[in-house]
Structure 1
């Protein structure tokens, strides 16, 4: 695990550059917009206690803290957490953002039983071997009726991505029956999943009202990356992505899937 942590720390500069790129900005904008569809349900609009598992340098956390919520970021990479703390300080959000170094698989007792209003499990599943166990651990700190958000790379997108970006139909054909992907940024071998696989697992773990969203339904298949930096073009692309994040069939082939669910039975 120490070796895996080093990979994330070493790639910090590349990761932060990715976040500022159009595709990185869209990832966070869309995730936030989808969360906003659900965050105020039954809360009266007040500040929420949010747990961001494997939250890295706080990309999701900062947006939620700006909205007045209190976010606990859990991650195992020291440099990522240090960057999250620095970002919070720069924005005057230190009182709303708490960073905890811990393994998501063995959460500290006060977090595991914390009764949070919201738990985020974004881009963690592709790094773990035991998906049902990881989901169960992630759900444990969530209060009854709380909101759970899980995001991961969409396996359905892999063949499309290879065919369009690499112009390699043979590799795309091979990707149809593969669940593996090499992540060059973090020097890691990833396991890809689909929303259709994860939704039943959430049901088995006692979740209800599952909603399926797509993150970057078009961006990754537009090959002129330079044009995406043009403000007017990016604004049009963002509007398109927001319009299709919950619209079939586009979320099924988006680069990532995001699932939102409530913990426990309906009242």
Structure 2
């Protein structure tokens, strides 16, 4: 995706600010907790993780801090430079490798590496062919390995507009489209649902697919300033962690995460 890389490079400051905000922190904390549910079931010892479209290492640094070896693949050079800086700051340079490449055409040494874990987070909304992207993402994963896919949830779009913008007309319009304009990267996105992606994963041979929701409450609380209060944030984090796998909240969460085992 070379044409998209410049947008990511120029939006670095806004992206890093978003990551440090309460909603950004929740995205990474809950995703890490969901992965941790499954990582212990894999073989003991450090795991080999492939983080596709891993950007500046938001997921990678957390997994490396747990002792795992993470290879980040991304097309945006500035994102990878930021990932290396984060690895250095955290003393994780020996555990994080950065590779500049298009995730759809991985270098042969990665495509054939048989990783224990593959992450495909926040990529689907940028691609035209979801089944082909998921197939390419699963290819480097060894049999029995853990796959994690994450994307913006189309079910949340209308609710988000109605609650945060108090615009029922715009919310009604959102019900009839899968298109969304992202502010941080000024990019046109295609929204998906977990219910659409699950059968695709199963058709590709994935087993034991689990559905989680991320930010099932945070994005519908309109007082953003209060979320910066440490005590309030702590309560919000506990709530999000308690409901990430609980119906009906994962269905309306702003982000869906699916984990699966490669058959």
- The answer to whether the superposition gives a TM-score over 0.5 is yes
Q: What's the CA shift for 1:214? A: 0.2
In the superposition, the TM-score normalised over structure 2's length comes to 0.99
In the superposition, the TM-score normalised over structure 1's length comes to 0.98
5+ unaligned residues in a row in structure 2: which ranges? none
Partner of 2:161: 162
Q: What's the CA shift for 1:40? A: 1.0
Partner of 1:107: 106
* Alignment partners' CA distance in 1, 2:86 and 2:172: 42
Deviation digits for residues 149-180 of structure 1 (CA, Å, limit 9, x no counterpart): 00000000000000001000001011111100
Deviation digits for residues 240-261 of structure 1 (CA, Å, limit 9, x no counterpart): 0000000000000000000000
* Alignment partners' CA distance in 2, 1:137 and 1:109: 12
SS in 2 for 1:3: helix
Q: Do residues 204 (structure 1) and 203 (structure 2) align?
A: yes
Partner of 1:2: 2
* Alignment partners' CA distance in 2, 1:4 and 1:146: 30
Partner of 1:255: 254
| CA-based RMSD | 0.6
Runs of 4+ in 1 over 4 A off after TM superposition: none
* Alignment partners' CA distance in 2, 1:251 and 1:78: 34
Structure 2 counterparts to residues 1-267 of structure 1, below 5 A: 1-44=1-44, 46-264=45-263
* Alignment partners' CA distance in 2, 1:175 and 1:253: 14
* Alignment partners' CA distance in 2, 1:217 and 1:140: 31
SS in 2 for 1:38: helix
Contact map agreement 2:144 2:261 (CA 8 A) in 1: yes
Deviation digits for residues 41-70 of structure 1 (CA, Å, limit 9, x no counterpart): 0312x1000000000000000000000000
Q: What's the CA shift for 1:219? A: 0.1
SS in 2 for 1:119: strand
SS in 2 for 1:143: strand
SS in 2 for 1:212: strand
* Alignment partners' CA distance in 1, 2:4 and 2:99: 18
Q: What's the CA shift for 1:4? A: 1.1
* Alignment partners' CA distance in 2, 1:4 and 1:42: 35
5+ unaligned residues in a row in structure 1: which ranges? none
Q: What's the CA shift for 1:185? A: 1.3
* Alignment partners' CA distance in 2, 1:201 and 1:249: 22
* Alignment partners' CA distance in 2, 1:98 and 1:195: 30
Q: What's the CA shift for 1:125? A: 0.0
SS in 1 for 2:59: helix
SS in 1 for 2:172: helix
* Alignment partners' CA distance in 2, 1:191 and 1:120: 19
